[in-house]
Amino acid sequence: MKFIQDPIHGQLRLEDWQIAIIDTPEFQRLRRISQIGFANLVYPGANHTRFEHSLGTMHVASQLVKKMDADEDEKREIVVSALLHDIGHAPFSHCSEAILSRYLKIAHEDVERILKRGEIRDVLNELGFRIGRIVKHIKGQSECNIVSGDIDADRMDYLVRDSYYTGVAYGVFDISRLLNKITFEGKKMVIEAGGLKAAESLLISRYMMYPTVYFHHVCRIARKMFERAVEFCIENGYLKPEDLLGMDDYDIVVFLRNIDGYPSEMMRLIDSRKLFKRAIYVGIDKINITEVQRINPKRAEAEIAEMAGVDVRNVIVDIPPIEEAKEFKAIVRIENELKSLEDVSSLVRALKIAERDVWRMGVYTKKEFVENVKKAALRFFNIERTPKQKKLDELF
């Protein structure tokens, strides 16, 4: 048994079987996968990794399974699933997610390829774990929602951890209160009435963290520049998509720096923080969201570049998906009835509506092309130009 000092949860107790998994090369790779991509370009302290988040998620899951009516083998299975839930992340975490989806048709939750090879497969087999069962917990396909659910161990850890390392206070919520007020209906987590305010606080934290940290425009721009550089390498035969599953941040940075031309240029700009600038950056109120969601960003980039008279590689169109937070559906027990969180909380219903207001579509380019690309993008997306605000002395 060992203890690890964690800045979020204090001392984490590790048993021998957990240490055996953590010590595998496949898990140690997570020490070199940044938790929130390029957020350190905005928040210099955001250098934490998927490694410590995975340990924190395991700790939260360990606290929760104590309340669940299950045998020790099943509890261990849930805890190991929490530990391994992020082992499928490619370099820079979610910055590689679109690439995995496009070229391999997988998400980071699809961990079978990693768990069924190498040292980690042998260790899991020796410990008696069934990889198929672990995969189901991670992908939210089991009857237990501790690892992947509406309000799960993953969310409870990453919000407070990301808030701590970025230095922003938005991700702070009463995690102890929430954990204390969770019970189980069979294998499903239920939040008791006394934990409603803590659950609301988690939703507020999530709502504040997304525009401030996860979808900060600098993070989005660096992410898309990185994405384009990696796509260039794949399309031109320099990199096999499946190789990303074994690479870490250091590997991909060195790799991109050494591919002459577009990849090395993008990496050099990210390294020096001389990023593309926003030509347009608009919310749902400025566009027809239904039409925009159908647009192929590659086609949009080509047409905007042609209209602006610039190389298509200097135009990036960023149309994030609109996703409803799963947390709204978390189950709460009120007066002995089970209801969804959004049904019992007017605050949560308001947050659900407000979430759409923080969505932004961006078109990015180099500083010297901003004006031309802006004009072309406004025409392409049929966006009315916002008139400049008049100075006070111009009104009189």
- What is 12-65 written as a DSSP string? EEE-HHHHHHHTSHHHHGGGGSBTTTTGGGTSTT---BHHHHHHHHHHHHHHHH
- Mean pLDDT across 206-226: 96
Spacing of C-alpha 253 from chain mean position: 20
Spacing of C-alpha 154 from chain mean position: 11
- How far is it between the farthest Cα atoms of the chain? 81
Looking at 214, 230, 251, which one is the last position of a domain?
Answer: 214
- Confirm whether 240 is domain-assigned: no
Give residue 392's pLDDT. 47
- Mean pLDDT across 8-15: 96
- Report CA-CA distances (Å) from 312 to 51, 85, 383: 37, 37, 21
Sequence-separated (6 or more) residues with CB below 8 Å from residue 73: 128
Burial 351-368 (b: 16+ CB within 10 A, else e): bbeebeeebbbbbbbbee
What percentage of the chain exceeds 90 in pLDDT?
Answer: 91
- Confirm whether 345 is domain-assigned: no
> pLDDT at residue 71 above 80?
yes
> pLDDT at residue 390 above 60?
no
Same domain, 98 and 191: yes
Q: Which two tokens stand for residue 129?
A: 């774990």
> pLDDT at residue 394 above 60?
no
CB atoms within 10 A of CB 340: 14
Q: How confident is the model at residue 388 (pLDDT cuts 50, 70, 90)?
A: low
- Confirm whether 70 is domain-assigned: yes
- Confirm whether 353 is domain-assigned: no
Q: What is the pLDDT of residues 156-166, one digit of tens each?
A: 999 999 999 99
> pLDDT at residue 391 above 60?
no
Give residue 389's pLDDT. 52
Same domain, 183 and 315: no
CA angle 184, 190, 193 (to 5 degrees): 125
- Confirm whether 349 is domain-assigned: no
Residues of the chain by 3-state class (helix, strand, coil), percent to 5: 55, 10, 30
Same domain, 41 and 160: yes
Task: Kindly report each contact of residues 266-269 with a partner whose C-beta sits within 8 Å and lies 24 or more positions away, as own/partner.
Answer: 266/225, 266/226, 266/228, 266/229, 267/226, 267/229, 269/225
Please give the tally of structural domains in the chain: 2
Give residue 284's pLDDT. 93
Q: Rounded CA gap, 333 and 31, in Å?
A: 39
Same domain, 75 and 166: yes
* pTM flag (> 0.85): yes
Looking at 214, 241, 261, which one is the last position of a domain?
Answer: 214
- Confirm whether 391 is domain-assigned: no
- Confirm whether 340 is domain-assigned: no
**By residue range, what is the domain housing residue 189?**
2-214
- Mean pLDDT across 196-213: 94
> pLDDT at residue 110 above 70?
yes
Same domain, 203 and 75: yes
Same domain, 101 and 185: yes
- Mean pLDDT across 290-296: 93
Q: Which two tokens stand for residue 132?
A: 């198929």
Q: Rounded CA gap, 242 and 240, in Å?
A: 6
- Mean pLDDT across 63-69: 96
- Confirm whether 172 is domain-assigned: yes
Amino acid symbol at 119: E
Q: Rounded CA gap, 143 and 329, in Å?
A: 16
Q: How confident is the model at residue 396 (pLDDT cuts 50, 70, 90)?
A: very low
Looking at 170, 198, 214, which one is the last position of a domain?
Answer: 214
Q: Rounded CA gap, 339 and 168, in Å?
A: 32
Helix (H, G, I), strand (E, B) or coil at 335: coil
Give residue 334's pLDDT. 94
Same domain, 193 and 305: no
Q: What is the dihedral of CA 334, 340, 341, 344, to 10 degrees?
A: -50
DSSP letter for 101, please: H
Helix (H, G, I), strand (E, B) or coil at 240: coil
List the CATH number of the domain containing 198. Answer: 1.10.3210.10
Same domain, 183 and 34: yes
What mean pLDDT is reported for the chain?
95
Q: How confident is the model at residue 341 (pLDDT cuts 50, 70, 90)?
A: very high
> pLDDT at residue 1 above 90?
no
Q: Rounded CA gap, 19 and 13, in Å?
A: 10
Q: Using CA of residue 161, residue 167, residue 173, residue 177, what is the dihedral sign? A: positive
- Report CA-CA distances (Å) from 281 to 79, 133, 215, 284: 42, 43, 12, 10
